[in-house]
Amino acid sequence: DGGITQSPKYLFRKEGQNVTLSCEQNLNHDAMYWYRQDPGQGLRLIYYSQIVNDFQKGDIAEGYSVSREKKESFPLTVTSAQKNPTAFYLCASSPSSSGLNEQYFGPGTRLTVT
Amino acid sequence: DAKTTQPTSMDCAEGRAANLPCNHSTISGNEYVYWYRQIHSQGPQYIIHGLKNNETNEMASLIITEDRKSSTLILPHATLRDTAVYYCIVRVAYRGGGADGLTFGKGTHLIIQP
């Protein structure tokens, strides 16, 4: 099956620990994205990548880091510098970087930090 | 991207057409109207998009007013599985730097009543 996978679905961490969320796609898409969603709110863009080895900050990049070493993978690290890391994290991909194509979303990872 | 305004919530009876309005009075000539929906605790799903002509696909129809300042998403025969938050997004098709992310508001919570 083609699609976007995120794992795990639920993740629990202690405050002060870094944690990496995985995102893999086998759709051969060039562009990939990370969003954060808080309860009752819309999605906010954290980072995005148009091609391998390149990525840009989104609206709320502080406290997060990413890498794009392979086309199919775009992991997100939530660092201890992120003040409110508990949230629902969504990864998406898009066929090209033209901006016209729709985005395909993964099932999300719900991170809880205590 | 232009700002959009949507009602917070709407009800619709199962089997009837659900009409979801969106106001985007500041839309510019090169901006498309996109609709996504998000079923509880899942990733958003693309529905449809359009520029100025009405569009229809297997999921829905999109009606854009002649002045493009508003649009309506129509689900012709709503089912219980259509209960979700529906997001109307206005987006430039291409920017010089390539595709950045989508800007999600709070959307409309559509509840299909049995």
Give per-residue pLDDT as tens, B41-81.
Answer: 899 999 999 999 899 999 999 999 999 999 999 999 999 99
pLDDT tens-digit profile of A97-111?
565 678 899 999 999
**A29 pLDDT exceeds 70?**
yes
Q: Which of A43, A46, A48, A94 to probe by mutation at the B interface, max B CB count within 10 Å? A: A43
Q: Residues near B80 by Cβ (< 8 Å), separated by ≥ 6?
A: B14, B112, B114
The mean pLDDT value for A60-87 works out to 95
pLDDT given for residue B31 in this prediction: 87
| Residue B72: both structure tokens together | 């309506």
CB-based contact, B91 to chain A, within 8 Å:
yes
Q: What is the pLDDT of residue B29?
A: 87
Greatest CA span in chain B, whole angstroms? 47
Q: Which of B5, B87, B100 to mutate to test the interface with A (most CBs of A within 10 A)?
A: B100
CB contact under 8 A, A102 and B49: yes
Residue A103 per-residue DSSP state: P
A chain contacts of residue B57, beta-carbon cutoff 8 Å: none
Nearest chain B alpha carbon to A90: B43
pLDDT band at B97 (very low <50, low <70, confident <90, very high): very low
Q: Is A85 on the interface with B (CB under 8 A)?
A: no
Q: Give the integer Cα–Cα distance in Å for B93 and B99.
A: 8
Note the pLDDT of residue B34.
93
Mean pLDDT, all residues of chain B: 91
pLDDT band for position A96 (50/70/90)? confident
SS3 call for B104: coil
What does the pLDDT average to over A14-23? 94
CB contact under 8 A, B43 and A96: no
B80 three-state secondary structure: helix
Dist. CA B32–CA B34, nearest whole Å: 6
**What is the mean predicted confidence (pLDDT) over B93-99?**
52
Measured between beta carbons, which residues in chain B are less than 8 angstroms from residue A108?
41-43
Query: How many whole angstroms separate alpha carbon A96 and alpha carbon B99?
Result: 8
Nearest to B93 by CA among B31, B7, B11: B31
Would the pLDDT of B99 be above 90? no
> For residue B96, is pLDDT > 60?
no
For tokens 């109207």, the residue is B33
**Partner residue opposite B43 with nearest CB, options A41, A97, A108:** A108
State percent of chain A over pLDDT 90: 76
Distance, in Å, from the CA atom of A25 to the CA atom of A20, rounded to the nearest integer, reads: 16
How many CA atoms, within 13 angstroms, populate the side-chain half-sphere of residue B55? 17
Place of tokens 């899942």: B42
- For residues A54-87, one letter each, b for 16 or more C-beta atoms within 10 angstroms of the residue's C-beta and e for the rest, the string is ebeebeebeebbbebeebbebbbebeeebeebbb
B32: contact with A, CB 8 A cutoff:
yes
Q: Is A108 on the interface with B (CB under 8 A)?
A: yes
pLDDT at A1: 54
pLDDT at residue B2, rounded to an integer: 65
pLDDT value for B104: 87
